[in-house]
């Protein structure tokens, strides 16, 4: 059965309250501008965008900020949103939720940036889609209004059928054993230049992850590249999970772009 975009009221996991977000990533709530910024800089706290997205039906499922010794409170941060009413229905319960990944900083070096992602329910795994297919949406602080946000999020939603079509194309593309091994090696090289255990990267952790289609293989490998646990190097050391969200986003986008070369 092909994936399809459905409307549902099922929650995939607990959403965060504003107080919980503040305890995890205080920089989201910074209202003062950094000392080095001039009066021309318009300070719009990320918390305002968070509240506005909540008003539009999007709930926060993750929040994170860069550790900072200097500029604490103004550093780059990320907030991930999911709408419980928008779901990509998959075969056998392999359902996914489109996500909006918001990044920003209050040091004058970034605008509000929105990326498209996918949360795969069965493995609690998050993907970030290639910017080449689903262009990132940005809003400058000086131009921010609720109406602007509503328009930009509307642009993201209109692209979701294209995301479903892309997933179906991945699912209809079968890979040979040679192609799967090649993909795993190239994927691992995005993270380490040392040799990797291809068998571990391709191993299915659950029944729904078995198969040779590009979507299934991509998900198997991506989960391990991000979450770690695979062996690498002469001593077969175990890779650690990616903790830095900037590295996570960059690596996810590169993995998606790599997968697209197999279509």
Global confidence as pTM: 0.89
What integer pLDDT is reported at residue 170 of this predicted model?
95
Task: Give how far Cα 77 sits from Cα of 56, 103, 113, 124, 198, Å.
Answer: 21, 6, 11, 21, 34
What integer pLDDT is reported at residue 13 of this predicted model?
54
Residue 130 has pLDDT above 90, yes or no: no
User: What SS3 state is found at 187?
Assistant: helix
What integer pLDDT is reported at residue 10 of this predicted model?
38
Residue 223 has pLDDT above 70, yes or no: yes
Name the more confident of 171 and 14: 171
CA 58 centroid distance within chain = 15
Q: What is the DSSP letter of 196?
A: B
Question: Alpha-carbon distance 105 to 28, whole Å?
Answer: 8
Would you say 213 and 173 are in contact if contact means Cβ atoms under 8 Å apart?
A: yes
Concatenated DSSP letters of 19-66: HHHHHH-GGGG--SPPTTS-TTS----HHHHHHHHHHTT-EEEEEEE-
CA 150 centroid distance within chain = 20
Q: What is the mean pLDDT of residues 140-151?
A: 93
Residue 125 has pLDDT above 80, yes or no: no
The structure tokens listed for 251 are 């690596």
Residue 255 has pLDDT above 80, yes or no: yes
Helices (H) and strands (E) in the chain, counts: 8, 10
Residue 237 has pLDDT above 70, yes or no: yes
What mean pLDDT, rounded, does the chain reach? 89
Please enumerate in sequence order all residues whose Cβ is within 8 A of that of 229, keeping only pairs 6 or more positions apart, or say none: 200, 238, 239, 241
Give the model confidence (pLDDT) of 175-189 as tens digits.
999 999 999 999 999
Residue 3 has pLDDT above 70, yes or no: no
Residue 8 has pLDDT above 70, yes or no: no
Judged on CB neighbours under 10 Å (0-12, 13-18, 19+), 53 is buried
The domain segmentation of the chain, as residue ranges, is: 4-161, 173-260
């Amino acid at each position: 059965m092909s994936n399809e975009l459905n409307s549902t009221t099922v929650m995939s996991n607990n959403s965060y309250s504003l107080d919980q977000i503040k305890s995890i990533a205080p920089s989201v709530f910074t209202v003062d501008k950094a000392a080095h910024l001039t009066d021309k800089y318009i300070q719009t706290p990320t918390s305002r965008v968070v509240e506005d997205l909540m008003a539009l039906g999007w709930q926060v499922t993750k929040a994170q900020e860069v550790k900072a010794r200097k500029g604490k409170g103004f550093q780059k941060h990320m907030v991930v949103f999911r709408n419980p009413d928008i779901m990509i229905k998959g075969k056998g319960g392999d359902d996914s939720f489109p996500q909006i990944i918001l990044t920003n900083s209050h040091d004058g070096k970034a605008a509000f940036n929105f990326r498209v992602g996918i949360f795969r329910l069965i493995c609690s795994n998050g993907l970030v889609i290639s910017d080449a297919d689903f262009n990132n949406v940005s809003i400058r602080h000086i131009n921010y209004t609720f109406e602007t946000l509503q328009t930009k999020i509307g642009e993201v939603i209109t692209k979701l059928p294209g995301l479903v079509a892309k997933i179906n194309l991945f699912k209809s593309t079968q890979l040979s054993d040679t192609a799967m091994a090649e993909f795993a090696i190239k994927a691992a090289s995005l993270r380490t230049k040392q040799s990797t255990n291809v068998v571990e990267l391709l191993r299915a952790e659950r029944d729904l992850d078995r198969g040779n289609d590009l979507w299934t293989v991509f998900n198997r490998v991506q989960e391990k590249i991000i979450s770690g646990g695979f062996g690498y190097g002469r001593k077969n050391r175990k890779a650690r999970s990616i903790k830095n969200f900037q590295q996570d986003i960059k690596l996810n986008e590169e993995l998606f772009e790599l997968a697209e070369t197999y279509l």
